[in-house]
Chains A and B, each alone.
Chain A
Amino acid sequence: MASGARPSPMHPAVGLPRSSTPPPGPFDWATFHGDSNRSGFTSVRGPSGPTEAWSPPQATPLPIRAGPVVNSTRIYAADIVGNVVALNRVNGSVAWRTTVWSAPTTPTLAGGRLFLGCDNGLLYALNAANGALLWTTNLSSAILQGTLDVSGEVIAGTDGGKLFALNDTTGHLLWSRTIGSPIAGAPAESGGVLYAAGSSGQLLAVNLTGAPVWSEKLRNVSLDVGFAIGRSRLFLAETNGNVTALSAANGSTLWNFSTAGSPLEGAIQATPATDGYSVDWIDGGGGIYSVYASNGTLRWLSNASQVSAGYPLLSAPVLTPTGFYVIDGSETLDDLNPVNGALRWSFPYGGLTVYSSPAVIANGLVIGTDDGVVDYFSPPSSLASWPISGQTVDPNGTPLANVTVELNSRSTLTSPDGSFLLYAANGSYVLLAGGAGTEPLSVPLTVTGPISGLRLVLLPLATFLLSGRLIDHDSGRAVPGASIVLVGPGGYQAGTLSSSDGNFSVRAPNGTDYLSVGGLATYFGLSEHIVVNGSPLSGLRVELTPVGLAAPGFFDAYAPYLLLAGLGMGALVAWLAEVSRRRRLVGLSGRILSRFGRYVLMRASLMPVQLLALLALLFAFGSFLPSVAAKAFTGVGSWKLLQDFFEGFLAFAWSMVSGDWGYAAYGHLSEPVTTYIAWWLPYTLELMAFALVISAALGYAAGLRAGWKPDGPFDVGTRLASLLGLLVPSFLVILLVLGGTYSYFVHAVGDTPYGITPNLAWYDTHGGLPPNWVGIGGNTLPTGFPLVDAALHTDGSFFAVVLAKTLFQATLIAIVYVAIFLRYARHSAAEHARALSVVAARSRGVPEGRLLWYHTGRRALPEFVLLFAITLPVYIGTQAVAEALFSDPGVGNVLLTEMTQVASSGFGITHGQGFVAGNLYQVTILFLFLVVLGGNLLADIIARYLDPRLLPEGR
């Protein structure tokens, strides 16, 4: 949805920053050109000579032209008819074999799945462990180069010029975008933005929901390859031999490198490789280029093999810190020094064509050839990846699960029986192990071959006793029964309850620990930061703030008043009962209040209930559900969820009701939420007062007049106008009127219609500076109502400008709103015009005008008032949009801004210095709700005062 406006559910808004996919290891070459950047760059060192790791078996009888992909255990390759083979990386034996019946492109390996885009338009997902087909989706047009897996989406571009995103678990289509010409190159991704290029130069950047970020069109180009991305720059090789660098942010061209005129000029049909400092590529003339990524100037041009190949050079080269691996025009694999282009070594294939792009891993390079062989260049001494296995146990020999074991920056978690398996090349390392509740362990380890049966004994974590007492902040009394949870480094966790005298003790490891206290409905939860430094801590004093009324301190302080109030209430009830009894004695009804009085009392008593329900709604949808979504249901039981809800709601409702709203960032301001409300609510109320008065006058007159003669010309005209007003969105009406009257307004008033108070330009002609009673929020002092304040400071010209702007905006709002109001009012007026009393009055010769405005009007008025109340929420929406368009600093504008912001960035994210997004929004809604509620209450009471027949039946 929200084209670009919603956070991906894959990235929890709140929670531990744990990436869903582990960082690539030394043996990972998971997709076309190595990574989602399509950079062709890897930070590991490739092979330093043409030594083959194992004697290459023929994996398939047919040519392998797609690039292989590699992980720590396997090499995956596919031939031109779709035979897919997985080889064990250590010895080249076949792990599994399957077929997908169509020529695949370089596969993508992600989350244990192998994704193959094929030239029959099918995208296959295989289980990487056994080759079983998981799903297949028809993209209806050939996939020409690699696929991509980002955040649970498989991305593929097709010959039909469409970019598709599929759910990588199910294969269901998430979205697609049309580019307009075949997507010949593999789509690339960087920073959550996908980049794809159409072969005739259409460039498209979209986010992971498919919403466009930018689009560009390069003129007169033809593209056989996609982007390579390095350090926020996109590099694009054109078939004509030029290379262009573009900004990843907006697609603007940064530089263009042309090979025209060079002796080695030729088409570029293989994606360049880049490490962000240089861009390196080979062209069809056999020229190998390296240019600086920053400005596109030539770094070096290699003449290692200036042979024009008899076939296109499709193998995308790979750059490492020490080598640049490329298949040249003489069917030779070259390794060039990336600094100066000097040849380090080469391996001639001697007439055997190689289209496959190499995969480079630690000390190794894997490539497929046209004779169906998967070549693995790697010195045998460092064939590496010896399996290192063992078990973690505690001093008693009990296996320890979920311990992190790390070797040579590869890590794993031990399984329930404490076992682990890692791979390492020959060399000396430090093996690290550690988990929750254990002391970290480091063991030097020299690897010369496979190691098994390692036994790592982990000592329990040394902890120190923390003890202290929970105290009520207000009364100083002990707080029993609170839950205390200590969270330490490395996932350490311990908990206890405070005793009846408020004491607690808990063990904590060295380092920085967090002590959280909670679990009591009567106290606010608390989290404290405690540093343990090798010794026990005692005498901690933790003060808890009681929640509202339930706190004992309240009763202590107010008990006498409560007692008095209780006695008073009792006396009142007794007195009322006595009055009622006496009334009945003399034969009157026992009810004391009139029907009207009872109605007002009943209606007013509904308000707190409605308020509570709204608070529950705001909390549930605004705070609770988003936080649940962010936690993604990990280990949260339903009972705990319920408990969290009620605890959270109590705290939320209390802070909302008590006015403890915290701080909020809005635009460049960061103020307490109360300040924003104090600044800007008066603006909204003032504008509302004007707009509602104008609306009422317009709506009353037009509604009555239209209902008087249904189907008369006035009625038809009104209906048509109201329909137009209904269906043309308010902002279009406002913008069109604004466009038509802007210059007249400026001419007449001397200021633009934007805002409510004068704009800065106006002050230039009226004294230079805003008066000192205009605050930094554009608010006026002391009341906040600009007209009132201008009158208080007897500033006539200020008053005139504000009045003109307010009237202008209020009239526009009224026009739009009355259209809605009229649809209701007309019906009611039509019925009252036919009432017996009106007919009777007419027969007595009362003039028509008096019949309309006096007789019918009086009858219809109560219903109009009620209709007004019903449409008040609609009115508020209209005013909010008007405020936004006029850049008024009203709460409607604030609300719209906050709503869209919150929807795009999520609730509950802490911005900057502890500002809570969402609280300004929730408070604003609360205020507008109170306005609606108060308006409804007032309207209900007025209508029933005017027409007592609307009162509920008395019994």
Chain B
Amino acid sequence: MTALAVELEPWEEEALVSLRAARTPVRRILRSLARNPSLLTGITILGVYATLGLLAWLQYGSGVGVLPLSFAWAQSLSPPGPTLAHPFGIMNVLGIDVANALYEAIPWDLAILGSILGLAVALGTVAGAWAGYARGPIDWVVTSLVDLLLSVPPFFLVIVLFVGLYNFVPVGYTLVLFVLLFAVVLWPYYARPVRSRAESVTAEPYVEAARAAGGSRARILTRHILPNSLDPVFAQIPIDVYQVFFVLTVFPFLGCWAQGSPGHAFAWLTPLPSAAFPEWGNLLAQGVCYGLQPAGSLNFWWMYTFPALVLILFGVAVALTTDGLSAVFQPRVAR
């Protein structure tokens, strides 16, 4: 201690420590993680998914998109339910082990959802925050585009775009096209609320202050506007997990369902390269389709219950994480 040092009261010392500790966003997040059980739980579950996904990827390598099929199972009229050897049971018709299929699907689903949401969130937040901050012609262009895209039901829109373009894409790359198109369809759902939030944040005194202090546009946008406009993003992410799985599930389901019911005329429509492709939505769709046959019977419950559980647990983890993150970024609305 030098002579110039000011003696601090203990409470002042404590406040200073916590102030320093909270200065970097990483520390702030780490600190709030400890106080935020929902975030902790969410991230833990997602971590487990990611680890399993990595394992599956390492284990199956380039063959991760190809499920081992058993013709004996495929033909079986009474497929075996959960046993020790096949903990989630067997799905007939496709002839697959449900647990193995769900496991092989993890890297695919994480990649599909991660890319769609990553692209959509990045595009939506940046465009929204920029439009809300800059106003003028940029705002007008972004808002009109957003209004247009938002007025068409997302799952119609993605299929309309997909059907228009898939002829231009090599057979193996339709999934990539699907991911890109879905991101294009979903970004307005982030841009709209972020824009309106950014608009009000721009009017806040601290932004005024930052501008008066000579902060550059980019700095004000990234340091002040964006972090304070993220709240609606966190509310939207779980809903878009739903949107993506809706499309991935509904169309294979209708295609499959139509095969068993002569009254329907649905053709099989999916961006996946094959019917027995390891993807949760697809597995759930076919699980429901084959598991509830004949209609009304719940005999083969494992075919849809386990895919649904894997999907729900994942969605819960995403929701917990985003709820937790929302509390981190906006402590005032913390619960």
Contact = CB atoms under 8 A, between A and B. Distances in A.
Interface string A863-897: 00000001001101100010010010000000111
Given A173-B172, A625-B164, A727-B312, A212 B276 contact: yes
B179 interface: no
B122 interface: no
Nearest to A830: B333
B43 interface: no
B167 interface: yes
B163 A621 contact: yes
Contacts, number: 238
Task: Give the bracket for the number of chain B residues in contact with chain A.
Answer: 35 or more
A207 to B, nearest CB: 10
B263 A3 contact: no
Given A724-B312, A728-B312, A820-B242, A6 B164 contact: no
Contacts of A874: 153-154, 239, 243
A617 interface: yes
B112 to A, nearest CB: 13
Interface residues of A, number: 88
A729 B245 contact: yes
B159 A903 contact: yes
Nearest to B153: A873
Given A1-B174, A735-B292, A824-B235, A899 B165 contact: no
Interface in B163-195: 163-168, 170-172, 174-175, 192
Nearest to A904: B267
A210 interface: yes
Contact of A904 (B151, B245, B269, B295): B269
Contacts of B273: 1, 3, 175, 209-210
A877 B246 contact: yes
Q: Which of B70, B164, B241, B250 has the most CB of A within 10 A?
A: B164
Nearest to A739: B296
Q: Which of A1, A202, A606, A874 has the most CB of B within 10 A?
A: A1
Nearest to B145: A613
B interface SS class: helix
A621 B165 contact: yes
B110 interface: no
Interface stretch (B6-14, B71-79, B215-223): B71-79
A614 B314 CA distance: 35
B249 interface: yes
Contact of A174 (B166, B172, B268): B172
B148 to A, nearest CB: 5
A178 interface: yes
Nearest to B164: A621
A497 B295 CA distance: 64
Interface in A691-742: 710-711, 723-724, 726-732, 735-736, 738-739, 742
A626 interface: yes
B207 interface: no
B333 A831 contact: yes
Contacts of A176: 66
Given A729-B284, A901-B267, A4 B239 contact: no
A3 B270 contact: yes
A723 B160 contact: no
Contacts of A536: none
Contacts of A824: 235, 239
Interface stretch (A230-238, A357-365, A670-678, A924-932): A924-932
B153 to A, nearest CB: 4
A78 B249 CA distance: 49
Contacts of B242: 726-727, 820
A217 interface: yes
Contact of B171 (A209, A617, A736, A932): A209
Interface in A1-50: 1-6, 9
Given A175-B172, A742-B296, A4 B269 contact: no
Interface stretch (B20-28, B48-56, B251-259): B251-259
A423 B312 CA distance: 68
A711 B164 contact: no
Nearest to B296: A739
A617 B172 contact: no
A823 interface: yes
A900 interface: yes
B81 interface: no
B151 A933 contact: yes
Contacts of B281: 729
A5 B163 contact: no
A899 B155 CA distance: 11
Contact of A5 (B147, B148, B153, B268): B268
A622 B150 contact: no
Contacts of B311: 727-728
A2 B253 CA distance: 12
B152 A884 contact: no
B248 to A, nearest CB: 9
B254 A723 contact: no
A613 B148 contact: yes
A209 B298 contact: no
A1 B239 contact: no
B316 interface: yes
A3 B151 contact: no
Interface string A165-182: 001000011111111100
B114 interface: no
A202 B284 CA distance: 26
A620 interface: yes
A656 interface: no
A907 interface: yes
Given A902-B163, A925-B156, A936 B151 contact: yes
Contacts of B274: 3, 175, 177, 209-211
Nearest to A893: B264
Contacts of B69: 177-178, 180
Q: Which of B71, B254, B292, B333 has the most CB of A within 10 A?
A: B71
Nearest to A181: B71
A173 B171 CA distance: 10
Contacts of B72: 217
A739 B156 contact: no
12 contacts: A2-B271, A177-B274, A610-B151, A626-B167, A726-B241, A727-B314, A731-B250, A739-B295, A823-B235, A902-B163, A903-B269, A928-B156
Given A9-B167, A903-B162, 9 more contacts: A175-B273, A177-B274, A180-B69, A211-B274, A609-B144, A610-B151, A621-B164, A873-B154, A874-B243
For the complex of A and B, 6 pairs with smallest distance between CB atoms? A621-B164, A629-B167, A904-B267, A873-B153, A1-B174, A727-B315
